[in-house]
């Protein structure tokens, strides 16, 4: 194997803060009783608005007239979005529009739009459609290779900070098939070969396929060069992550179970971790 030392890459930047305002709806005019209908926000340099209140809530309030209420709310949200874009700010949006009353201007750290919207819903609304937020297009999520690279880079930097002598073992390559292309491994020392993987809550299927491919590569190289240990160190979400709904958590738990079972069957150790610091600690323990 030839060691490949890549140039240092900056650690993942912490999530930027996104400003937003909750938008409240008064079902019965004049009562003062308000429900959170949606939100106006700015994320990644763009203004947007979204309806959060569930369809069944509007159906129970307005019956056959609920379609009209939905259209009115959606129209109000669109006007708020246009007003924010025209002013290039959320600061001045304090007056009601089309029956929607803006709340206090707030700011939340979020790495993606789905994370921002889920946080808004959890903070302000028990009537939110969380399942709808789970189904946002996958284009809002980073690609699997990108999140793997970020995770691997953070592990490498944290590990080398403790043990500079281990730098030469990161990013080493091996040829698994005669005449085939070299495969780069996350870490390979005389004691252990390891890959790094992320089970992403939005791209679960892609994450699972990636994990299986890495298990195959680990199994193959372990048998070829007779290393004592092979390990897959995988980033997973916390079981109590409030930004994820039941559907996403169930999918992640099932994917984690499958990876655990398939790793065991292949003779590979699987170490699920919730952050890069724990991943680096696993590398230090395995490297000895």
Q: What is the pLDDT of residues 68-122, one digit of tens each?
A: 888 889 999 999 999 999 999 999 898 988 889 899 999 888 878 888 888 887 7
pLDDT tens digit sequence for 123-137: 765 555 555 555 444
Per-residue pLDDT for 232 more than 70?
yes
* Integer Cα distance of 7 and 280 in angstroms: 19
**Amino acid 102: pLDDT:** 92
* Integer Cα distance of 281 and 275 in angstroms: 10
Comparing CA positions, the residue from 138, 93, 98, 103 lying closest to residue 123 is 103
Least-confidence region, from 55-64, 75-84, 139-148, 204-213: 139-148
Q: Which string of b and e fits 150-181 if b means at least 16 CB within 10 Å?
A: bbbbbbbbbbbeeeeebeebbbbebeeeeeee
* Integer Cα distance of 42 and 20 in angstroms: 6
* Integer Cα distance of 159 and 233 in angstroms: 13
Q: Kindly report the pTM of this predicted structure.
A: 0.54
Residue in this structure with the two tokens 């890069």, named with its chain if needed: 276
**Amino acid 15: pLDDT:** 60
Please report the domains of the chain, with CATH numbers, ordered by start residue: 17-140 (no CATH), 144-287 (3.40.50)
**Amino acid 175: pLDDT:** 73
**Amino acid 2: pLDDT:** 35
Q: Following CA atoms 207, 209, 212, 213 in sequence, which dihedral angle do they give, to the nearest 10 degrees?
A: -110
| pLDDT bucket at 148, cuts 50 / 70 / 90 | confident
Per-residue pLDDT for 203 more than 70?
yes
CB 154 within 8 A of CB 11: yes
């Amino acid at each position: 194997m030839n060691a490949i030392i890549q140039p240092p890459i900056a650690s993942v930047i912490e999530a930027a803060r996104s400003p937003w305002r909750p938008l409240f709806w008064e079902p019965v005019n004049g009562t003062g009783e308000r429900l959170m209908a949606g939100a106006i926000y700015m994320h990644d340099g763009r203004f947007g608005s979204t309806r959060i209140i569930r369809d069944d809530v509007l159906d129970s309030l307005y019956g056959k007239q609920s379609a009209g209420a939905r259209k009115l709310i959606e129209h109000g949200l669109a006007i708020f979005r246009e007003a924010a874009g025209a002013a290039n700010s959320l600061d001045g949006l304090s007056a009601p529009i089309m029956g929607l009353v803006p709340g206090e201007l707030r700011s939340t750290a979020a790495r993606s739009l789905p994370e921002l919207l889920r946080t808004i819903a959890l903070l302000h609304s028990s009537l939110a459609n969380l399942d709808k937020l789970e189904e946002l297009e996958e284009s809002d999520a980073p690609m699997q290779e990108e999140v793997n690279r970020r995770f691997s880079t953070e592990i490498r930097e944290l590990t080398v900070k403790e043990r500079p002598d281990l730098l030469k073992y990161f990013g080493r390559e091996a040829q698994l098939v005669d005449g085939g292309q070299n495969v780069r491994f996350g870490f390979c020392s005389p004691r252990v070969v390891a890959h790094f993987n992320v089970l992403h809550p939005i791209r679960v299927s892609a994450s699972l396929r990636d994990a299986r491919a890495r298990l195959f590569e680990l199994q193959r190289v372990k048998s070829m060069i007779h290393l004592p240990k092979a390990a897959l160190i995988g980033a997973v979400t916390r079981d109590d992550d409030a930004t994820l709904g039941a559907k996403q958590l169930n999918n992640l738990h099932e994917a984690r179970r499958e990876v655990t079972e398939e790793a065991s069957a292949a003779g590979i150790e699987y170490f699920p971790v919730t952050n890069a610091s724990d991943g680096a600690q696993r590398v230090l323990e395995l490297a000895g």
